[in-house]
Amino acid sequence: MRLSLNPFKRGLKNGIKPVSLNILFFVAYNNLYRNKLRTGLTIFGITIGISAIFFLTSFGLGLQDLVTEQVIGDKSIKAVDITSPNSKIIKLDDKTTNKLSNLGSVKKVGRSYSFPGSLTYKGAELDMVTYGVDENYQGLSSLNLVAGRLLKNTDNNQIIMNRAALTALGIKEDKDAIDRAVKLTIPLTGLKTDQKEIEDTFTIIGVVNSGAGGEVFIPRGKFDSAGIPYYSQVKVVVDDTKNVPALRKQIESMGFETTSPIDTLGQINEIFKFFTIILASFGAIGMVVSVLGMFNTLTISLLERTQEIGLMMSMGARNRDIRTLFVLEALILSVTGAVVGILIAVVTGKFVNLVMNIFAHQRGVPGSFELFSTPLWLMGVMVIFMVIVGNLVVHFPAKRAAKINPIDALRRE
Amino acid sequence: MDKDETIDVLKDVSFVMKYGSFNIIYGPSGSGKSTLLNVLTGLQKPTQGEITFDDQNVYDLKPDELAHFRANRIGIVYQQNYWVKSLTVIDNVAMPLYFLGYSRKEAHAQAIKALERVGMEGYTKKYPTRLSGGEQQRVAMARALVNDPLFIIADEPTGSLDSKNGDMIMGLLKRANKEQGRTIILVTHNMEYLPLANHLLHIQDGQVKELQGQNIHEETMGLMRDMKKRIDQLSRDKTGDEK
């Protein structure tokens, strides 16, 4: 068959410009808006699925944070504690600590002595653990100062005590302890030292909230001048957390033992990873149902609009425009469902947390806690997850829509 | 019928449509009119032969180019009204321009002009499915005109309208042809419109007979005479039955 439509003034190939995405979005939005009930129910299904996953995951993460906070506290995960398994043979002395401070990734070194001692105050004598510390060591220990100040390297007869020690001494208010004088005796028996004991009167300059038993901190210089040949513990801090394992290996090869909050953190994370996955899996059951609902909605929409699709194609829509139209509809459904679901989960989490805090207060638990963790990354992951799910769900309906034969579609009643 | 058996709907069809002409395709049901229109609109590739446009075989175009060809060159009016039901009149009319990459603002400005041409500018915010049949067909005419097409293909546009609305649509097609110089390709059963054509394609059993100029008048008169004879025969048969 030869049919000539001639002569026409415009060429065929000049200026092909695709339909803009916001127009396809507009058409997609209008179609969903027209079927309010169906769209609403589909979004509701997705909302339930997403809020269940988000709620349970944020609960798992919240518990993980809570446990981590209790166990790790303010300890820096960049810090490594070094002790000697046999302090008389492998000595943690100045020579060794200087060597440690020269290791590549080490930024700071803090030294400490620890000995049992006894504290005398207003005629009462109490046993305490005594630490001889420097400024670096205090910094790396992340001591939680609640009154006064920490020790300086220039201090001599100053002392810091923890709350447990204050309570044992009968001092109720942290501030009341400041500037009070106490006598401290630290026996140094069994050590080849110049002095047999350290005995002096110290002025309390600070109170910290750490440990359950009585602890006191005095300037390291007191032990240095007594001639103690090695430190009880050394703390080093590295420039980057990722350098911790290599540094530990290096130090352990020198014969020392190392511990790091990362060990505990790793164990906590490992346990909670499985716990959170199990919780999220419960939520995923709801998600599966909502995904099926979404697939159903998109398929029905395709069947209902076959004629419309045929019309659009006869007016110049390309296959990919039709596919994009369906993908946009799926994305509107999934992203709206995800955002509303996250909001509902966050609000529900806040409410449950408030109720739990009120219960805890009524039972005498001090302070407040957060049972749910709702980090931005989790919200982002949920939205991205739904974008991916939406794309997967719409794949077949969109492919089918793009393959519609406009002639057959327009003939369809 | 054998599953693989093929039927030639159109056979040995060869004709030229001139720019600015008023072409009418007529013929009985099942004669191949719709197939011919589908082939012309770039929706159905012929098994043999070609459709050339500016020396370019339309079916040699890539799918995207073919879609662009439809959006850019053709305006279509169907007998049945097809709409994107979730959109208002103005967005339905603007639809072909959307597929040409127009923004909504640009497309709406053009759509209002097209609606003014058919006297439907007051219906922009309404939904087309809520309009009467005649109003819907006028909006469909506006949609066919909005992209400033080189040719308008009208597939029995008056088929489901009363004579008043039918005449109005034919008037719009006439104006589009006479005043704007658009090529009209009209499929109709209604013989009273045949004299509008300057190029007539009588299609029967897949064969096309081409008529032009004075021949059209003679063909129309002949068809009218046949019809009169048939009416007279039917009247006689009816009278005989009653007796």
Residue A111 lies in a domain: yes
pLDDT at A72: 65
Residues of B in contact with A18 (CB under 8 A): 101
A112 and A255 both lie in a single domain: yes
- Examine the domain organization and report whether A254 and A285 are in the same domain: no
State the Cα–Cα distance between residues A165 and B42, nearest whole angstrom.
92
Q: Is residue A2 assigned to a domain?
A: no
Report the number of distinct structural domains present in chain A: 2
**Cα nearest neighbour of B206 on chain A:** A1
Question: Would the CB atoms of B71 and A315 count as touching at under 8 Å?
Answer: yes
- B129 neighbors B120 (Cβ within 8 angstroms): no
Coil, helix or strand for B76?
strand
The verdict on residue A324 lying in a domain is yes
Residue B5 banded pLDDT, cuts 50, 70, 90: low
Closest CA to A115 of A25, A212, A209, A187: A187
Rg value, chain B, Cα: 20
What confidence score (pLDDT) does residue A413 get? 58
Angstroms from A345 CA to nearest CA on chain B: 33
- Chain A residues touching residue B40 (CB < 8 angstroms): 3
Residue A110 has phi, psi (to 5 degrees) of -120, 135
pLDDT at B166 over 90: no
**% of chain B exceeding 70 in pLDDT:** 96
Judge: A16–B64 Cβ closer than 8 Å, yes or no: yes
Does residue A149 lie within any of the structural domains?
Answer: yes
**Residue B63: per-residue pLDDT:** 84
The verdict on residue A13 lying in a domain is no
Helix (H, G, I), strand (E, B) or coil at A103: coil
Interface contact A34, partner B, CB < 8 A: yes
- The answer to whether A199 and A183 have CB atoms below 8 angstroms apart is yes
Q: Are residues A101 and A196 in the same domain?
A: yes
Query: Does A310 touch chain B if contact means CB atoms closer than 8 Å?
Result: yes
Of A259, A275, A296, the residue that ends a domain is A259
Helix axis angle for A319-362 and A376-402, nearest 10°, is 150
Identify the weakest region by mean pLDDT among A248-252, B166-170, B218-222: B218-222
Q: Does B182 touch chain A (CB under 8 A)?
A: no
- Residues B131-165: pLDDT tens digits? 998 899 999 999 999 998 988 999 888 887 888 88
Q: Average per-residue pLDDT in chain B?
A: 86
B68 vs A: CB within 8 A: yes
Q: What is the mean pLDDT of each run of 10 residues along chain A (413 residues)?
A: 40 63 93 92 92 91 82 71 79 83 84 89 87 86 84 88 86 87 84 77 89 86 83 86 85 87 81 84 85 89 89 90 93 94 95 91 80 92 92 90 84 66
Domain boundary among A259, A277, A307: A259
In a domain, A1, yes or no: no
Q: Are residues A274 and A252 in the same domain?
A: no
Q: Could you give the domains of chain B?
A: 22-212 (3.40.50.300)
Residues A110 and A225 in one domain: yes
| Cα distance between residue A49 and residue A342, in whole Å | 10
pTM for this model (two decimals): 0.71
Determine the Cα–Cα distance for residues B105 and B110; give it in Å rounded to an integer. 9
Residue A246 sits in the same domain as residue A275? no
Task: Indicate if A181 and A250 belong to the same structural domain.
Answer: yes
- Residue A10 and residue B85: Cβ atoms within 8 Å? no
What does the alpha-carbon distance between residue B45 and residue B57 come to, in Å, rounded to a whole number?
A: 11
Q: Are residues A64 and A83 in the same domain?
A: no
Question: What pairing do the DSSP bridges indicate for beta strands B22-26 and B199-204?
Answer: parallel
A193 shares its domain with A337? no
Beta bridge partners of A124: A121
Structural domain includes residue A386: yes
- Which of A340, A345, A337 has the alpha carbon at shortest distance from A294? A337
Tell me: do A340 and A236 sit in the same domain.
no
| Shared-domain flag, residues A296 and A360 | yes
Domain that holds residue A376: 21-71+267-411
Q: Can you give the pLDDT at residue A87?
A: 65
Give the minimum alpha-carbon distance from B235 to chain A in angstroms, rounded to a whole number. 36
A119 and A218 in a single domain? The answer is yes
Q: How far is B168 from chain A (nearest CA, A)?
A: 23
Q: Last residue of some domain: A259, A285, A312? A: A259
Tell me, yes or no, whether A12 lies in a domain: no
